[in-house]
Structure 1
């Protein structure tokens, strides 16, 4: 096992959690000695601890877009890290709206935060969390790691991003939630690892029945805003990436389907190494 890796903490697409399902989307990236948390869905705190991370070392968080299955546990993660001994700055990078979320979270927790400052002698959590609302381009350059963003295609949201993490020797790209786009092929050109969202086309009708909301709006959202596994494979091939990992799986909790179905969906379109994501999997770089 190397010291540089990506851990897929939650690999389920969508915010619902059902018996037997995996957890929604969150990830830990470790490159050049830096720990980056990417997306903070329900379960991210437990997922980080299960990877052996000491929460008081939390420092950098990226949020891809403002859907709850990508940022619902952002505030609770930082608060829990604070209660675990965090005393150093935390930087949040995310789309427009992320600052309002953070301000709303600390306002909702004011009584608890004030009590812990007074009763436990803690530093003020609100003083060392820094929020950066981002746009396309280079977002952060630090200690040999360059992080860049492009807008992907996830309507109706506009500020929804894919991210590139690059050092002198490694290149990792996260698609974020997106329909297939040519720009992502260029963005991920030659990457060592592309983590791409994926839907299994044959499984969507039965998933709609299980959701049972009586409307075809959800199906229409999936079709215009997400990517089938075979299209993710085509993107990976066109980009010439060395490895492809599927995550944000739709569905992830149907026992009728397993890893082989995802592999079969990609087999005719990508011949490189394919990883079908599951919660807690660590991919060495």
Structure 2
């Protein structure tokens, strides 16, 4: 087992630890874009999100568009990531249903299935352990999760924009018709509407905010954080986050279900007040 983590800094509830305590020393050698990774799980069929622009689960015009979910072998994905095969889409392993343990259990010999000190602190095991691998163009639009999130980068880097729940009055939400990308035989993508209720989502891009349309966002206080290989980010539940990555970045995150306690009640109050008066 690797040594206990050293806390390099703590700010506003966000913790970066180094060295990582989520993997054995051999994990960097195992989870590489060639060699052992291709050998150990290359033939496995996994779920891959495919989009025309890298934005899965994001606003596109007047739609909230989800990716096309494609089943393919790990080796086929690696051929695309390594640019041995050309593709008109952007590919990202991002299925958030404990895909590490469900689709790639072979890797759990080197990647822990929980973080012992976090499991002890919270008195529970993680609800999901998710594996992430994709192209540089794959971007996670700004959102929040109802989980205590330990985000661990194994190779490459992740770049986060982080905003606390107290910034909710400055963050716009709008309702959108849900839809899904679908790639046609000619390689072009179409947007197909889903037969389901409208979805509330954040239309703002924190990297290029439209202050004319969303002037209240000027009052927000985003934090910018880069998580390098071997580092771990503690992202508290209900924090807003936007994520970019280096090409071929490999990461694993651990989702622990949040407690619906006074913190959640406070956030619900913030939501209700914001709905009543609008963004400030």
Instruction: Report the TM-score, using the length of structure 1 for normalisation.
Output: 0.26
Name whichever structure is richer in helix by fraction.
Answer: 1
Name whichever structure is richer in strand by fraction.
Answer: 2
